[in-house]
Amino acid sequence: KQEVTQIPAALSVPEGENLVLNCSFTDSAIYNLQWFRQDPGKGLTSLLLIQSSQREQTSGRLNASLDKSSGRSTLYIAASQPGDSATYLCAAHNNAGNMLTFGGGTRLMVKP
Amino acid sequence: DGGITQSPKYLFRKEGQNVTLSCEQNLNHDAMYWYRQDPGQGLRLIYYSQIVNDFQKGDIAEGYSVSREKKESFPLTVTSAQKNPTAFYLCASSMGTSTYTFGSGTRLTVV
């Protein structure tokens, strides 16, 4: 059974810092790896999707990488802003069955 | 605009009562999902459906039931058998293995 872990669980940084969020998964047989953002009391917003054949995806200040062999993905946020404060979740889309398995999330606070 | 609508936003359930959470999508997505989120935790899959009139149990299906009579709709019933139903419930849809679209959630509280 796929298990997804995110470290750290919480992170507080000053505005302007570059930061890395980590995601690891136990089963490398995945279709893709997805990163989401969740604001308090809200649903999830899709940020980036990396196909299993890809190494990374970029969108604006966000860059996500995928290393299937080691079961790891990272989300890099450049020049962080207070508006980036939210919970970031990664999810692995398994080959067996059409479903996502989520990590516990990293709660990010960017201080002005 | 296309999207997913969940209702109600807040729901209160008395002990022993069944309640139904609504989820409607107009994205023409084949697959729909129900997740449960507890405070400070990630999402856990309750049920999913890849096609009309068919659905599968997720990791925590006990105490829940669903139906998929229309492509657009995937309601979730929280039954009295669910002993700890207080949580944030999220509905999602997808087309195959592509990006998922989530609703804004329903917060269920037992009173």
In tens, the pLDDT along B1-32 reads: 679 999 999 999 888 899 999 999 999 999 99
Q: Rounded to a whole number, what is the distance in Å from the CA of B49 to chain A's nearest CA? A: 9
Residue type, B45: L
Given a cut of 90, is residue B93 above it in pLDDT? Answer: yes
Q: To the nearest whole number, what is the mean pLDDT of chain B?
A: 93
Question: Which long-range CB contacts under 8 A does B53-61 form with residues at least 24 apart?
Answer: B56/A97, B58/A99, B58/B33, B58/B34, B60/B36
Is the CB of residue B7 less than 8 Å from the CB of residue B106?
yes
Quote the pLDDT of residue B26: 96
State which residue of chain A sits closest to B98, comparing Cα positions.
A49
The answer to whether the Cβ–Cβ distance between A98 and B97 falls below 8 Å is: yes
Is the CB of residue B23 less than 8 Å from the CB of residue B89?
no
Residues 40-69 in B contacting A (C-alpha not used; CB under 8 Å):
40-45, 48, 50, 56, 58
Is the CB of residue B101 less than 8 Å from the CB of residue B29?
yes
Q: What parts of chain A have a pLDDT lower than 70?
A: 96-98
Is the CB of residue B9 less than 8 Å from the CB of residue B60?
no
- Three-state SS at A82: helix
Alpha helices in A1-112 (DSSP H): none
The answer to whether the Cβ–Cβ distance between B42 and A99 falls below 8 Å is: no
Residue B63: closest CA among B87, B42, B43, B94: B87
- At residue B52 the predicted structure's pLDDT band, cuts being 50, 70 and 90, is very high
Given a cut of 90, is residue B83 above it in pLDDT? Answer: no
Quote the pLDDT of residue A99: 81
Which tokens belong to A92? Answer: 């692995």
d(CA B37, CA B34): 10
Is the CB of residue A100 less than 8 Å from the CB of residue A1?
no
A33 touching chain B per CB within 8 A: no
Which tokens belong to A62? Answer: 């966000």
Residue B97 is nearest to which of A32, A43, A107, comparing CB atoms? A32
Residue A44 is nearest to which of B44, B102, B107, comparing CB atoms? B102
Quote the pLDDT of residue B25: 97
The DSSP code for B42 is: -
- At residue B111 the predicted structure's pLDDT band, cuts being 50, 70 and 90, is confident
Quote the pLDDT of residue B67: 97
Quote the pLDDT of residue B42: 86
Quote the pLDDT of residue A62: 98
Return the exposure string of B4-43: e unless at least 16 CB atoms fall within 10 Å of the residue's CB, then b.
Answer: bebeeeebebeeeeebebebbbeeebebbbbbbbeeeebb
A71 touching chain B per CB within 8 A: no
- At residue B98 the predicted structure's pLDDT band, cuts being 50, 70 and 90, is confident
